[in-house]
A and B are shown apart, each in its own frame.
Chain A
Amino acid sequence: MLQYVSKRALSMVLVLYIVITATFLLMHSIPGGPFTTEKQLTPEVLRNINARYHLDDPLWKQYIDYMGNILKFDLGPSFKYQDRTVNNIIADGFPVSIQLGTFAVLLAVPFGISAGILASLRHNRPLDYIVMSSSTLGISIPSFILASFLIYFFAFKIKLFPAAMWNGFSYMILPGISLAALPMAVVARLTRSGMLEVLSQDFIRTAKAKGVGKGLIIYRHALKNSLIPVVTYVGPMTAGILTGSFVVESIFNIPGLGRYFVTSIYNRDYTVILGITIFYSALIVIFNFLVDIAYVFLDPRISLDKKGDS
């Protein structure tokens, strides 16, 4: 296990390195820069600014400087928001995104799994059809449409929840649902198909023959076996949700990380783009790692050390 973890840590660093380099090069290869705005700056001003942010250095030097700073966990200053560093922006936006994201994950995973189990137990009966068709809706309705509908209905019609802003738990509900709908639907589908497959296995018959009741059959004998595809999906999904969704955060005017990410691209705010990309990739890499570890606990046949059995 320890060997695996250390090997894995190395490869995670490598992946991140490639991501940083690729993003860095791509960003700089696009014509224009953070200060090419519609407002014409005098060449002197532009030169001064470029010198201030070291944008007049050759690319390789900028790259090396940037890498050096990253090793110190310094993601640099924002080009657009003066007096703010990328670290500041992440520190501001991420806690908001993480609250909203955690809420959405807590909606999506337990409800998705339960719906999937229920559907599998009522295979080809009304409840199954209801769950499956609502999950098809969940997958096919874009979050901005769902969000608009939720705002219209819950905020304007019955005035139950606030329509936007970020001032406490009740502000979390509508964006949370908008954000959770898609993953919840996917989780329900994955759980259902996993359960259906497992419930027809011989060992379930064995358990029944032993006199195990329905509840324990599902909980002890079937669920663990059917969760592997779900976990595979939930890992990266969690990373995605936690870093925030631009669409949902914009609609509900939530000051999360997702919004900064997208505006930084419009602004050509090099350091913010890079910083958030790195942050996001690091999260994904970490969650994928956690997924692989989770496999071991779900299925003892999976061995991370590749030494074969026992």
Chain B
Amino acid sequence: MQPILSVENLKVIFNTYAGTVQAVNDVSFTLHEGETIGIVGESGCGKSVTSSAIMGLIPSPPGRIASGRILFEGRDLVTMDEKSLQKIRGNQISMIFQDPMTSLNPVLTVGLQLAESFMLHQKLPKKKAMEKAVEMLKLVGIPAPETRIRQYPHQMSGGMRQRVMIAMALACNPQILIADEPTTALDVTVQAQIMELIKKLNTELSTAVILITHDLGVVAGMCSRVLVMYAGRVVESAPVNEFYANPQHPYSWGLLKSLPRPDMKSGTLESIAGQPPDLLAPPSGCAFMPRCRFAMEVCKQPPAPIKVTEDHMCRCWLLDKASPHTPVTLFKECETA
């Protein structure tokens, strides 16, 4: 099946006073209709920049897409002009942002902000668009939508505002929904509701979802594929079952082990020691090497992507034919340690 979105060797850089930051480096992945993929990784690993690049929202200057293609329905979003991008944004590809508290305009009614999508993309008159806005609020489970559309964001709770954001993103029934840490700013019970809602809409409207998160638990429950990003690169990508059963990259192990589990005995969670590398001067070899327990001499060279199975990719020297270790035994070892 043709993917609806394919990102090919995407590279995004930011020119700062201190130098050039390579925020996203050689990232490739595909997304199929109705599929949900999860992009995980620490803060600053390039997850959000990747999604902004897809939306064409890299602030420029200082940022710019240095190379690569983003193919949507066969058209390259990277080279597309602003007018055509505007027709796609919010219409065919839309996005939910991290912080619902600041992502809605405080001086416009929720109804107008929602209706705006319909007015822009479906050329509906304001009155019709407002009726549609009511429907959308109903769809995302906001009670009394008729009164809510006349309210302003400050009159709503965080969870409610994120529902509004979702309604806004889904207004024109997009093929792709990018959710950039949609629950980070919300408390746990609301988080679950929001994730449930995204999942429900994903199945009902068959919208493909790119879920950006650092919550591997959420990924396990929602996604069909996982991309692990580190320092601007995809270090491992695998179908979700394969990823949890057979992770290959030491960074993925670290992420998985820092997750609380019901069968855990001791009280402290493990963390990955050290800091992500400075992207102004990234290490020439594997970016994870300074933090990796299994680093070898060869890790000073950049690792090439290696196919573990047909759709499981990993960038790690441990998988090289010449490697003295097999990653699986190492993972078992460090799990029991």
Contact = CB atoms under 8 A, between A and B. Distances in A.
B116 A210 contact: yes
Interface in B227-280: none
A304 to B, nearest CB: 15
A230 B154 CA distance: 23
Interface stretch (B103-111, B215-223, B309-317): B103-111
B89 A210 contact: yes
Contacts of B106: 203, 225, 299-301
A299 B116 contact: no
Interface string A95-123: 00000000000000000000000000000
Interface string A215-226: 000001100110
Interface string A171-215: 000000000000000000000000000000111011111111100
Contact of A309 (B55, B121, B155): B155
B165 A298 contact: no
Max count, chain B CB within 10 A of own CB: residue among A202, A225, A309: A202
Contacts of A309: 154-155
B151 A310 contact: yes
B116 A212 contact: yes
B103 A211 contact: no
A310 B117 CA distance: 26
A301 B154 contact: yes
B86 interface: yes
Contact of A208 (B57, B87, B107): B57
B116 A201 contact: no
Contacts of A210: 89-90, 94, 116-117, 120, 168
B305 to A, nearest CB: 31
A205 B94 contact: no
The main secondary structure of chain A at its interface with chain B is helix
A225 B155 contact: no
Contacts of A213: 86
Contacts of A212: 86, 90, 116, 120
B107 A298 contact: yes
Interface string B292-320: 00000000000000000000000000000
Contacts of B165: 206
B93 to A, nearest CB: 9
A220 B108 contact: yes
A206 B154 contact: no
B202 interface: no
A264 B148 CA distance: 58
Nearest to B112: A220
Given A211-B120, A300-B152, A201 B102 contact: yes
Contacts of B102: 201-203
A211 B152 contact: no
Contact of B103 (A206, A224, A299, A301): A206
Contacts of B120: 210-212
B103 A208 contact: no
A205 B97 contact: yes
A212 B94 CA distance: 12
A207 B105 contact: yes
A309 B153 CA distance: 11
Given A212-B116, A310-B155, A300 B86 contact: no
Interface string A151-187: 0000000000000000000000000000000000000
B97 A202 contact: yes
A220 B120 CA distance: 13
Nearest to B51: A209
Nearest to A207: B105
B99 interface: yes
B89 A221 contact: no
Interface string A228-267: 0000000000000000000000000000000000000000
A211 B57 contact: no
A211 B90 contact: yes
Interface string B62-98: 0000000000000000000000001111110011010
Contacts of B117: 210-211
Nearest to B178: A209
Given A209-B89, A211-B90, A203 B103 contact: yes
B121 to A, nearest CB: 6
B121 A225 contact: no
Interface in B205-222: none
Contacts of B57: 205, 208-209
Max count, chain B CB within 10 A of own CB: residue among A207, A225, A298, A301: A207
A206 B151 contact: no
Nearest to A214: B82
A225 B107 contact: yes
B153 to A, nearest CB: 9
A202 B116 CA distance: 17
B108 to A, nearest CB: 7
Contacts of B121: 211
25 contacts: A201-B102, A202-B99, A202-B103, A203-B104, A203-B105, A206-B103, A206-B165, A208-B57, A208-B89, A209-B94, A209-B95, A210-B117, A211-B89, A211-B120, A212-B86, A212-B120, A213-B86, A220-B108, A224-B108, A225-B107, A299-B106, A301-B106, A301-B107, A301-B154, A309-B155
Q: Which 4 A-B pairs have the closest CB atoms?
A: A210-B90, A211-B90, A211-B89, A202-B102
